[in-house]
Amino acid sequence: MRDSTSGLVEQGAGMGTEIVVVVRDTGIVWVAQTAETVRAAGCVIGLVTGPLDTVEAIELDKLVDGLAVVDDPTDPEQLAEAARTLSQGHRLGAVFSASDGTLVAAARAAEILGVGRTPARGLLLCRNKYATRTALRRAGLSTPRFALMHDPAEAAAVAARVGLPAVIKPVNGAGSHLVEPVRTVEELAAAHTKISTRLLDAPQLRNLYARPVDNGDGTTIDPTRGFLVEGRLNGPEYTVDFVVRDGEVEALPVVDKFLIDDRFFERGFVSPPIGLDPRREAEIEACVVAAVRAVGLDNVAGCVEIIDDAQAGPTVVEVNGRPGGQLLGTLYGLRTGVNTAAEVISLARGVPCPRSAPPLPIPLATLTLFPGRTGRLKAIHGLDAVADLPDVLQVVPSVRPGDLITADYEIFAVNLVVAGFDDYADLEDIYAQADALVTFEIEPDGGGR
């Protein structure tokens, strides 16, 4: 198959417009944004997705130039065959995904088709939090104490290894899905039972756990039973997007996660961090570069999350093979002129990415409002009132009527870009004002929690 596929791609080199094939498992808003960026690069966009309901099919078909549905969007062979079909009459430029559940499969499909510029193995290690921790430790970087836990009966031994308090989480989860803080051995055992029982309740995330997680060394983890437990760190948390092209890592400015609630939901980001010592900022950026190299990422834009622990110092807690979510891309675009979505597409295509002067090179923050209840969303009220607040530059809802709202993972319901603040107290006041103005009309649903 690899030989015949390579011939197809070479034959397509003399054909018409370049097509970029994007792989989706969930979501529609990001597909619309990606389609706009792909077309701005002079390409057409094809979309490969898993099974759809009628409403999704109609909406997605309007957004893209070609649509293919496969049984399993985590199967690289199915993705490659769908991309072949979509690229008929076009020159296939890239196959990639911005979804956690299909990130690795899309990169492997690109390799099958001979257009794989982003090594799938680096993305694989990023999608496996245990493998990431192992690679970082091997490289001599500071990491939390960590262990795998497969059974509640292992709680005492795992707690002795990582220390308490701790955090337990799915080994390949996303969006703070079922991330549970624990303080005692009993809580750790109960949290393992809770996660294993509810892991597949969220249909939007099932593709994450559809198959064994590869450790990159010939071994695998069952993501429905093996969870990562790590010692709790204490200190401010930062996120840094990066671009790595042909081995050269560029860290973008540090962003402070200044507002995180007790469910690990990220409510506020600010750049530059207020009051951060420039020397500490340089240390954080150095950690980012080292972490990207440790996991073997190349020709991709992504993000690294760091906690500046009171004792251990800057400690890498996550490496992602995609840029930060919420409105971080907007924040970077305004402050630096770097369009991270365009960088992803250019890196996947193997072409340079033009950059512009920063449109708004001033301190900026993004805020995310979460619904206070769970169920089926009927409407969002108060968005116009929030847009009228003097410090609010943009209001971007990312949920629509009919969406299922759950408290098991982050759903970035309403996102704001704000400016004109003086300090963190000012930002928290803006957040409180916006949160008071927005109401989510939600009806009960048996799938919500």
What per-residue confidence (pLDDT) applies to 4? 29
φ, ψ at 292 (rounded to 5°): -60, -40
* Pick from 198-212, 237-251, 264-278: least confident: 198-212
Q: Which two tokens stand for residue 210?
A: 């559809």
Range 52-59 contact pairs with CB under 8 angstroms and sequence separation of 24 or more:
55/402, 56/28, 59/28
Q: Is 353's pLDDT higher than 90?
A: yes
Query: What CATH fold (topology level) applies to the domain 145-231?
Result: Dna Ligase; domain 1 (3.30.1490)
What pLDDT is recorded for position 335?
A: 97
* pLDDT at residue 5, as a whole number: 32
Partners of residue 48 on adjacent β-strands: 23, 68
Tell me the per-residue pLDDT of 145-184, one tens digit each, with 9 for 90 and over: 999 999 999 999 999 999 999 999 999 988 788 899 999 9
Closest to 116 (Cα-Cα) out of 135, 138, 97, 143: 97
Say which residues have a Cβ less than 8 Å from residue 185's Cβ, sequence separation at least 6.
Answer: 155, 156, 159, 164
pLDDT at residue 7 greater than cutoff 60: no
Q: Name the token pair of 349.
A: 């295509």
Digit-coded pLDDT (tens) for 26-60:
888 889 999 999 999 999 999 999 999 999 999 99
> How is the chain split into domains, by residue range?
2-116, 145-231, 237-443
One DSSP character per residue, 363-376 reads -EEEEEE--SS-EE
User: How does pLDDT run across 126-139, given as a tens digit for each residue?
Assistant: 999 999 999 999 99
Half-sphere exposure (Cβ direction) of 49: Cα atoms closer than 13 Å: 21
pLDDT digits (tens, 9 = 90+) for 296-336: 999 999 999 999 999 999 999 999 999 998 899 999 999 99
The pLDDT value given to residue 15: 58
DSSP H or E segment with residue 92: strand 91-97
Render pLDDT for 383-428 as a digit per residue (tens, 0 to 9): 999 999 999 999 999 888 988 888 778 888 999 999 999 999 999 9
The region of weakest confidence among 52-56, 196-200, 260-264 is: 260-264
Burial (CB < 10 A; 0-12, 13-18, 19+), residue 384, is exposed
- With H, G, I as helix, E, B as strand and everything else as coil, classify residue 306: strand
Place of tokens 């993705």: 79
CATH code assigned to 2-116: 3.40.50.20
DSSP string of 190-218, one letter each residue: HHHHHHHHHTTS-GGGGGGGSSPEE-SSS
Distance CA 327, CA 334 (A): 11
In CATH, the architecture of 237-443 is 2-Layer Sandwich (3.30)
- For residue 205, pLDDT over 90 is answered with no
